[in-house]
């Protein structure tokens, strides 16, 4: 089930007798996206334990960020959220990760950089001065990509806003795993459905 209300999948699970697969509930969680992201990281980098993962952008409105923090830290990765203070949840101090406001400081220490789209459709007020200002501070371009370790990868759950959080140069780079994430997502969700439909 996918629903715009946070907690919808949990509520539905209490009403029905079968399995409920959360395909994204509001700004709460997106478990299968986290699974495909973890699978993509392990496929590219050979491990999850000890990886340094930076999740960058609109954390406040991102169900992907929350699910990735929970799964990746459970599997032994170290996660740092990078965002302006206005795009971080009030409860972020309870999440099992670090927080930074400085992308340039975090990049050289990251094995994976996951860029998030600014979800303007969920915003009812101004969270940053302008698109240009956001991109200048939190956008990933070729210059910033060059500051990352040589084998580090760039991820994005999509859809991408080229020129805002990610430049076309980075999006089309061999170090960007977006097309792999999409392909892995199909396989992973098929596997989850198979396991649920097959029972124990």
Percent over 70 (pLDDT), the chain: 82
Query: What is the Cα–Cα distance from 148 to 145, expressed in whole angstroms?
Result: 5
Q: For residue 122, what pLDDT is reported? A: 45
Q: Where are the domains of the chain?
A: 28-198
pLDDT band at 123; cut points 50, 70, 90: very low
For residue 68, count CB atoms less than 10 angstroms from its CB and return exposed for 0-12, middle for 13-18, buried for 19 or more. buried
* pTM for the structure as a whole: 0.87
**16-37: per-residue pLDDT in tens?**
787 766 655 555 576 899 999 9
Q: For residue 2, what pLDDT is reported? A: 56
Percent over 90 (pLDDT), the chain: 69
pLDDT at 10 over 80: no
Across the range 127-147, mean pLDDT stands at 90
Helix, strand, coil % over all residues of the chain, rounded to 5: 45, 15, 40
Across the range 60-70, mean pLDDT stands at 93
CA 62 and chain centroid, separation? 8
Q: For residue 185, what pLDDT is reported? A: 93
Provide CATH code, domain 28-198.
Answer: 3.40.50.1370
pLDDT at 101 over 70: yes
Q: Token digits for 106? A: 């975090």
Most confident stretch, 41-50, 57-66, 185-194 = 41-50
Q: Token digits for 105? A: 């400081």
**145-155: per-residue pLDDT in tens?**
999 999 999 99
Q: For residue 179, what pLDDT is reported? A: 96
Average pLDDT, rounded, for the chain = 88
Query: What is the Cα–Cα distance from 177 to 150, expressed in whole angstroms?
Result: 15
Across the range 54-59, mean pLDDT stands at 96
Tell the residue number behind the tokens 């992907």, with chain if given: 64
pLDDT band at 1; cut points 50, 70, 90: low
């Amino acid at each position: 089930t996918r629903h715009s209300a946070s907690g919808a999948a949990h509520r539905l699970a209490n009403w029905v007798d079968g399995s409920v697969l959360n395909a994204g509930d509001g700004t709460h969680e997106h478990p299968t996206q986290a699974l495909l992201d973890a699978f993509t990281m392990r496929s590219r980098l050979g491990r999850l334990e000890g990886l340094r993962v930076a999740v960058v952008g609109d954390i406040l409105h991102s169900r992907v960020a929350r699910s990735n923090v929970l799964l990746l830290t459970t599997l032994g990765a170290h996660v740092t959220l990078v965002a302006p203070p206005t795009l971080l949840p009030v409860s972020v101090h309870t999440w099992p990760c670090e927080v930074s406001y400085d992308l340039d400081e975090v990049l050289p220490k990251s094995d994976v950089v996951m860029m998030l789209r600014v979800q303007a459709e969920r915003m009812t007020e101004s969270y940053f001065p302008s698109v240009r200002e956001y991109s200048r501070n939190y956008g990933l371009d070729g210059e910033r990509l060059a500051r990352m370790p040589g084998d580090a990868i760039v991820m994005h759950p999509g859809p991408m806003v080229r020129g805002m959080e990610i430049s076309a140069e980075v999006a089309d780079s061999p170090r960007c795993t977006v097309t792999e994430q999409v392909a892995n997502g199909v396989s992973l969700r098929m596997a989850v459905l198979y396991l649920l439909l097959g029972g124990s």
